Amino acid sequence: MLIDKVYKAVMQLINKDQIGGTLTPLEFNRYAEFAQREYVEEMYNRNDGMGYESTYDVSDFISAIKENTTITVQNGTIAKPSNYLHYSSAYINTIFNDAGAVSPIELVRDDEWAERLASQVNKPSKKFPIMRDMGSVYQLYPQDINNVNMTYLREPLEPWWNYTLSGSTPIFAETGGITTNPNSGVTAGDSTDFEIQEFEDLVWKICKYIGIEIREGDLFNLSNAEQKD
């Protein structure tokens, strides 16, 4: 599992850096969660024009947490899924001229919402529906839409390095570990791998939280070693 390779790499860098002290599995897991979430946010919100879905490569980096679901409309709104993180796209299935059709939903800002509803030439319709973000729900117009098909990025599972003990030394355990995995639906003693499979970025970010400055050569060598395992 990648999480064990990242753990070993971080421990190797800690020993090389000689910062003193130790990194407990609990601390590693907390930093691993921070690192994975930071990576997702960077890929989604990049300010260089290369954010989510700007290129196939960028989208592939976080495609593991992309979900698609159909949501029932209630009182002109749809509730965001419980694991919702970021919006991707949405559409409705409609019928025009006795034929099925797909109508993409346009996500608009609040000021645009008012303008569109008041418009005589660009008023929303089932062929050209709109919606706006209202916190835990999306508000739609027209309101008589029945269902929305939404694609979104979900919250990634919390990475969890589980272990047994050999004396006082933690030993990685993919299953049968002694700590309780916090992810819903996962067996308590199991480990949970990173959903973002980016070895170098994860190692670098975790070490940043610990306070270790990684030299480019160290990260390059660790990456090559990881690929040979």
In terms of domains, do 37 and 100 share one? no
Q: Tell me: pLDDT of 2 over 60.
A: yes
Average pLDDT of the residues in 117-126: 90
Last residue of a domain, one of 88, 119, 154: 154
Indicate the burial class of 161 (C-beta count within 10 angstroms; 0-12, 13-18, 19 or more): buried
What is the edge-to-edge ordering of all strands in the sheet holding 77-79? 77-79, 137-141, 130-133, 106-107
| CB 162, CB 2: distance < 8 Å | no
What domain count does the chain have? 2
Q: Tell me: pLDDT of 167 over 60.
A: yes
Instruction: Please tell me the predicted confidence (pLDDT) of residue 124.
Output: 93
CA 167 to chain centre: 37
Q: Is residue 45 part of a domain?
A: yes
User: Which of 17-31, 111-125, 175-189 has the least mean pLDDT?
Assistant: 17-31
For the chain, what is the mean pLDDT?
87
Instruction: Please tell me the predicted confidence (pLDDT) of residue 73.
Output: 95
Sign of CA dihedral 168, 171, 175, 180: positive
pLDDT range class, residue 75, cuts 50, 70, 90 = very high
Structure tokens at 168: 């006082």
Instruction: Please tell me the predicted confidence (pLDDT) of residue 20.
Output: 53
In terms of domains, do 148 and 163 share one? no
Q: Which amino acid is at 21?
A: G
Spatial distance between the Cα atoms of 90 and 71, rounded to a whole number of angstroms: 10
Residues 6+ apart with CB under 8 A from 69: 81, 149, 150, 152
Instruction: Please tell me the predicted confidence (pLDDT) of residue 60.
Output: 77
DSSP class of residue 183 equals S
In terms of domains, do 124 and 194 share one? no
Instruction: Please tell me the predicted confidence (pLDDT) of residue 216.
Output: 56
pLDDT range class, residue 42, cuts 50, 70, 90 = confident
Q: Tell me: pLDDT of 5 over 90.
A: yes
Instruction: Please tell me the predicted confidence (pLDDT) of residue 221.
Output: 60
Q: Which residue has the higher pLDDT, 163 or 204?
A: 163
Last residue of a domain, one of 154, 173, 197: 154
Full DSSP string of 49-72 = S--TTSSHHHHHHTGGGEEEEEEE
Domain span at 136: 66-154
Tell me how far apart the 2 most distant CA atoms of the chain are, in Å.
76
Instruction: Please tell me the predicted confidence (pLDDT) of residue 218.
Output: 61
Indicate the burial class of 204 (C-beta count within 10 angstroms; 0-12, 13-18, 19 or more): buried
| CB 36, CB 29: distance < 8 Å | no
Q: Is residue 60 part of a domain?
A: no
In terms of domains, do 72 and 50 share one? no
